[in-house]
Amino acid sequence: MPKCLSQSLALLARSFYYAAQKGWIRFDQYSPYKRFTALLQVFRFGLWKALWRITPRPFGAILALLSGKDRYFLRLAQSPTPVLLSISPINFTSLLHLAKAGYYPLSAEPSSNTLLMPIGPGITISLRTHQSGDIGILKELLVDRDYGNDFSGYRIIDVGAYIGETALFFCSQGAEKVIAVDPAPDNVALAKKNITQSPYAERIRLFDVAVAASEGEMPFYLDEGNPQTHALPTAREDQAYSRAKKTVTVPVWSFEQLMAHAGWDEVDLVVIEYHAAPEPLEAHLKTLGYRVERIKDMLMTGIIRAEKANST
């Protein structure tokens, strides 16, 4: 994508996001905007064949997207009959993207709205299908390949580890060790389950802390409808996704403190999810000898990928 077009799209997205922050428009999982975006993807990316393969009721699925319903029948590899599951619109189209790329759901637990998905040879991951962006995030990882493909021999710090999907992906692509960091209790609980049940449990260390400029404790805001948007206090007035947030107190480490706990002299790759302005963090990483790039910069959030200059 040309740089000027990318910048224009980012500016437009920030304008929408600002309006959503103020509560002028809805931006949550079931908003008209999200439903329209989800339906548009079916046409834009040619997801019809995946739609017919993954559900026995494709037209019902299209109607559900149009009407904002969240109940879909899915064909599952380990189930003899289709299973009815609650799935948010954007998660459903992300599931179609994954199916198109050859990743099909294995099984489901309708009572907890969780889905078991393969992410590599011998690796599965539990995802929340309702009131979350879990499947969409997995699509960015496996289909869009936002993080890359080859991490052979790397030591990686993953700040914003979410449910462990990136840490497991890094290991499946050759990473030697991964430090995974996330302070959200719900995300950490699922990350522990996913990592423990994987063949890479010995390679991954999970710390349930936040990382910031200072150390100590801070309030952490939980958006129960969108666990991917949990954040430190800067997002307190953010109404883009939900107006009802819970607060928990979480331990906060500086990056230096995290490195001390890791016991590593050098880190090959640092991946950080950011909210708002990432420029100071980018500048700091550059002074430490990292090549820094933003993988995405949309809707006031994005990902910083910082690779050591001598890494291959």
Instruction: Give one DSSP letter per residue of 162-191, joined into a string.
Output: TTSHHHHHHHHTT-SEEEEE---HHHHHHH
Write down the domain spans for the chain. 31-144, 147-312
Of 95, 120, 97, nearest to 108 by C-alpha is 95
Least confident of 3-12, 222-231, 251-260, 272-281: 3-12
d(CA 90, CA 35): 7
Does 243 have pLDDT greater than 80?
no
The band of 240, judged by pLDDT with boundaries at 50, 70 and 90, is very low
Angle between helices 58-67 and 89-100 (to 10 degrees): 140
Q: What is the pTM of this model?
A: 0.85
Of 271, 299, 285, 26, nearest to 162 by C-alpha is 271
pLDDT at 241: 44
Q: Could you tell me the fold of the domain covering 147-312?
A: Rossmann fold (3.40.50)
pLDDT tens, position by position, 54-102? 999 999 999 988 887 789 999 999 999 999 999 988 899 999 999 999 9
| Number of Cβ within a 10 Å radius of residue 283 | 10
Q: Give SS3 for 19.
A: helix
Of 219, 303, 209, 218, nearest to 258 by C-alpha is 209
Q: What token pair was written down for 171?
A: 């290991």
Angle among Cα 101, 93, 43 to the nearest 5 degrees reads: 90
Whole-number mean pLDDT of the chain? 85
